[in-house]
Amino acid sequence: MAVLEALTTVNLVPAIQRAPAKGRILDTANVLFYEDGIRNVGVDRIISASSVTKATFYKHYRAKDNLIVEYITHRHATVRANLEAIIASSPNAEIALREFIAAVIAEIDRPGFRGCPFINAAAEFPQSDHPVRKVVTAHREWYVDTLAELLRSMGHPVPGDAADELLLARDGALAGGYAGDSVAASAALGRIANRVLAESVGH
């Protein structure tokens, strides 16, 4: 997929005020890092695809590592904004969780799907103390806490454990949906979600 075409399909949160050139660099990295892998995409390719000069790139980011951390941080902000929007628009916790599962399944079906960007990034940066891994860890902790709070609102007897199950089911569906049978992966995620939600008190 061409970068400019892909940029029109990426679901980004409303931009924080940032320089147009810096925004183009981040938006380009958001596509290329996800499509081709973070380590496979060099600075020169990002500079060319985002139509900026080398001096402009280094003025804003100084090094590729800084762009990588901003990329994965921006991905987290996007996921968080999307889930918070689902929660805000849902009349209750159960509907919010079902909408969350539906959004994951829709992601698996999206053209250009390449699996979970956070798991992909963690695989490329195995050192647990690397800044990228710290963002991934914080992202997953936020995810579990958010899902647990929704499950607690439903009266689930062990919301923390159930949140872990849902997140791991999501991980498996994203991995299986990319590497294997996307229909089977989505169906399995739906079955697990139904079982977890059915465990809630008064369901």
- Largest Cα–Cα distance in the chain? 61
Instruction: Kindly tell me if the per-residue pLDDT of 160 is higher than 50.
Output: yes
pLDDT score recorded for residue 202: 59
Burial 170-203 (b: 16+ CB within 10 A, else e): bbebbebbbeeebeebbebbbebbeebbebbeee
pLDDT digits (tens, 9 = 90+) for 174-187: 999 999 999 999 99
What confidence tier does 203 reach under pLDDT thresholds 50, 70, 90? low
- What the block records as the tokens of 32 is 């290329």
Q: Please give the domain boundaries of the chain with CATH numbers for all domains.
A: 19-62 (1.10.10.60), 68-198 (1.10.357.10)
pLDDT score recorded for residue 3: 37
For range 159-179, the mean pLDDT: 97
- 3-state DSSP assignment of residue 166: helix
- What the block records as the tokens of 89 is 């628009």
Q: Give pTM, 2 decimals.
A: 0.86
